[in-house]
Amino acid sequence: QVLSGYNIRRLSEGNQSLLNELQVQAELRRLASNVMVAESDVRGAVITNNASHLRNIETTDRAVETELLRVKDRFQGNIPPQIAELEILIERKKDFNKQIITAFDSDNPDKARELVTTNRGRILRDSILALISDLEHTRQSELSSIVRSIESTGNRARMWGFVITGIALFALILSFWFITSQGRQQQKMIQALNESERRSKDVAHMKEQFLANMSHEIRTPMNSILGFTNLLRRTELNDIQREYVQNIHSAGENLLTLVNDILDLSKIEAGMMHLEESRFSLRSMVSSVGAMFAEKINEKKLNFEVQIDKELPDILVGDAVRLTQILVNLLSNAVKFTEEGRIDLRVDLVNSTDSSVRVRFTLSDTGIGIARSKQKTVFERFQQAETETSRRYGGSGLGLSIVKQLVELQHGSIDLRSELGKGSQFIVE
C-alpha cells in the first residue's frame, strides 16, 4: 500500500507537470499568434488605408498581456530570463504599434506608412517570435524529461508490483506451510494430551482405589481397636490404666477421623463424590448433630443453643449425609476451639420457590478466633490458623477444606467472620 501510494503520487505529480508544460507551450503559441495578428492588423490598416482592421487591436493587445501573465504564473516563481526579455520586447512592440495607430488616426497616413516601412515592427516581431521559439525548445526538453520520468515511475511501479506479488505468493506459501505444520504439531499435542489425560484418569482411579482399599484396611482394625477399648473401659481398671485406655481410644478416634477425611477429599478431587437426593427432616437432622456433641459441650460447661426459622419447611429433599458432615465438621471445630462461653447454631430461610429453598446455617462461637491474615488460608488443605494449633488441639487441617468443597458441590457458599480472641462465625448457604 505504501509503495503503491508513493508511485501513484509520483505519477500524479508527473502528469501534473506534463499538463503544466503542455499548457505553457499552448500559451506561448497563442502569444505568438496574437503578436502576429496585431502586427498584421496594424500593417493592413496602414497599407489599405482602412481603419476597420484596427477594431480588434485593443482586444488582441489585452490577449497578449493575458497570455504573458499566464506564462509567468506557470513557472511558479522560477521564471527563466527569456520571459523578462520577452516582456520588454512585447512592450516595445505595443508602443511601436501605438505610434503607427496614432499617426494613422491623425490623418497622417504618410507618416504611418513611413513607420511601417522602417521594418522596425518586423524586427520586434521576429525577435519576439525567436524568443518564444527558444522558450518552446527549452520547454520541449523539459517536457521530454517529464515524460521519461513518468515512464520510469510507471516501470518502477510495475516492477514493484511484480516484486510485491512474488513476496505475497512466497508469504502465502510460507503461511500455508506454517499453518499446516502448526496443525500437525497441534494434532500431536492433542494426542499427547489425550494420552496424558487417559493416564491421569488411570492414575486417579488407581489412587482412588488404593485409598479406598487402604481406608477399608485401616478402618477395619481401627474399629476393632475402638470396640475393644470401649469394652476394656467397662471393666475394673485403676486410674492409670483407665487413663491409658482413654488415650488409646482418643488416638484411635482421631486416626479414624483422619482416614475418613482423606478418603472424602480424594473422592471429591477425583469427581467420585456424588450427591444423593432423598427426603429428610431438617429439624431432626440438626437435633441429631447437636446430640452428637452434647457430652463434650457439657464437659466444657458451654452454653449451646439452636434456633430454626419457623418459616422453613421441615421436610426437604437433598443429601442429608453430606449436610450432616458439613455441620459436624463446623460444630466439631467450634467445640474444640471454645474453652468457655457459648456456641449458637441458627438456621434461616433465605428465599424459596415452588421447587426449592435456600437455607443459611450460621454457627457462632466464643472460641480462640482466627487472625484476619489467616482467614483465607484456613479453607486450604492441611492448613490451620496457627502452627501451634495442631500440637495443642490436634487435627489435620482437612476439615474446613472438605466443608468448602462439599458446600460448593451443592451450589452454595461459605463465609467466615472472626476476630482473634473473640470467637468465630461460619455462615453457610
* 176-198 per-residue burial string, b: 16 or more CB within 10 A, e: under 16: eeeeeeeeeeeeeeeeeeeeeee
| Interatomic CA distance for residues 163 and 155, integer angstroms | 12
| Interatomic CA distance for residues 345 and 362, integer angstroms | 6
Per-residue confidence band for 210, with pLDDT thresholds at 50, 70 and 90: confident
| pLDDT, position 427 | 93
Find the mean pLDDT for residues 61-85. 72
**In degrees, to the nearest 5, what angle opens at C-alpha 193 toward C-alphas 190 and 194?**
85
- Of 416, 414, 410, 418, the residue nearest 428 (C-alpha): 414
Phi-psi region of 356 (alpha: psi -120 to 50; beta: other; left: phi over 0): beta
Find the mean pLDDT for residues 260-284. 76
Checking if the pLDDT of 108 tops 70, the result is no
- Which range among 197-211, 271-285, 386-400 has the greatest average pLDDT? 271-285
| Interatomic CA distance for residues 139 and 60, integer angstroms | 25
Please give the mean pLDDT across all residues of the chain.
80
| pLDDT, position 273 | 67
| Interatomic CA distance for residues 316 and 230, integer angstroms | 36
- Of 131, 126, 99, the residue nearest 113 (C-alpha): 99
Percent of the chain with pLDDT over 70: 84
- Of 403, 420, 286, 291, the residue nearest 348 (C-alpha): 286
Given the C-alpha cell 474444640, which residue does it identify? 336
Express each pLDDT in 290-334 by its tens digit.
Answer: 888 888 899 889 999 999 999 999 899 998 888 988 898 899 889
Beta bridge partners of 345: 306, 363
Express each pLDDT in 177-206 by its tens digit.
Answer: 999 999 999 999 999 999 998 888 888 777
| Interatomic CA distance for residues 320 and 328, integer angstroms | 12
Give the residue, 313 or 108, on which the prediction is more confident.
313
Q: CA 182 → CA 36, 175, 196, 259, distances in Å?
A: 81, 10, 20, 48
Per-residue confidence band for 66, with pLDDT thresholds at 50, 70 and 90: confident
H or E element: which one contains 428?
strand 423-428
Find the mean pLDDT for residues 390-396. 53
| Interatomic CA distance for residues 429 and 361, integer angstroms | 6
CA 150 to chain centre: 45
